[in-house]
Amino acid sequence: MADWNVISALATAAGTLVLAGASFASIRSADRAALSAERALLASLRPLLISSRIEGPQQKLIWHDGHWAHLPGSAGYLRLADDNVYLAASIRNVGPGLGVIHGWRFAPPENYLDADHPDPAAFRRQSRDLYIAPGDTSFWHAAIRDPEDPDHGALVEPLKNGDRVNIDLLYGDAEGGQRTISRFSLIRVKPEHEDRWVCQVVRHWNVDRPDPR
């Protein structure tokens, strides 16, 4: 004779197991949906800086000590004036999010093909906030005014010889996250145009998320 108490207990246990499985699957699906939504949101906020187009607008730059320059599209800028080294680059944000430049560093020639990104702590902080709107052209600029600064002499030498100068920019989104490091090269056009430099992007590194390569 069937023991209905046992059968009832087994049926209840089976139903509970089925319900637990359905709940687990639902939670996993919700987690995947939340993760996808988070990734989509972050992607919509993410900036990506590259050199501007050659037909980009000319910009007038003014440093806080009164030094100024006109910067054409796709141009770099490297000058020595009164023992001060002035640097600039015409750049463009091709990402969908507002870009905020946090700092910069001089990348010595021997680090040109580095596979790993430099330490963010090694970057110089910008003296003014630089924001670059999505899809827009803007600029980066900086200066070294102390002749005793190790990077001062390291920049004067290629400036005089017309050698490539590599600059790393550290930037992120408007929320302060998704930090990225992009390496730009300032290259003198030709010896007969020694005051003209062009800017080109060389490499990108993700700091707060895995690199795509």
User: 111 and 182 share a domain?
Assistant: yes
User: 61 and 17 share a domain?
Assistant: no
Q: Which of 135, 174, 120 is nearest to 49 (CA)?
A: 135
The count of structural domains within the chain is 2
pLDDT grade, residue 55 (50/70/90)? very high
User: 181 and 152 share a domain?
Assistant: yes
- For residue 19, count CB atoms less than 10 angstroms from its CB and return exposed for 0-12, middle for 13-18, buried for 19 or more: exposed
Residue 6 lies in a domain: yes
User: 55 and 83 share a domain?
Assistant: yes
Is a pLDDT exceeding 60 seen at residue 1? no
User: 59 and 109 share a domain?
Assistant: yes
List the domain range (segments joined by +) for residue 126.
47-206
Is a pLDDT exceeding 80 seen at residue 118? yes
Residue 94 lies in a domain: yes
Residues of the chain with pLDDT > 90, as a percent, come to: 61
Residue 9 lies in a domain: yes
The tens digit of pLDDT for each residue in 177-205 reads 999 999 999 999 876 556 789 999 999 99
Q: Bridge partners of 88?
A: 77, 141
Q: Where are the beta strands (DSSP E) in 38-114?
A: 49-51, 59-62, 68-71, 75-81, 84-93, 99-107
User: 158 and 183 share a domain?
Assistant: yes
User: 128 and 23 share a domain?
Assistant: no
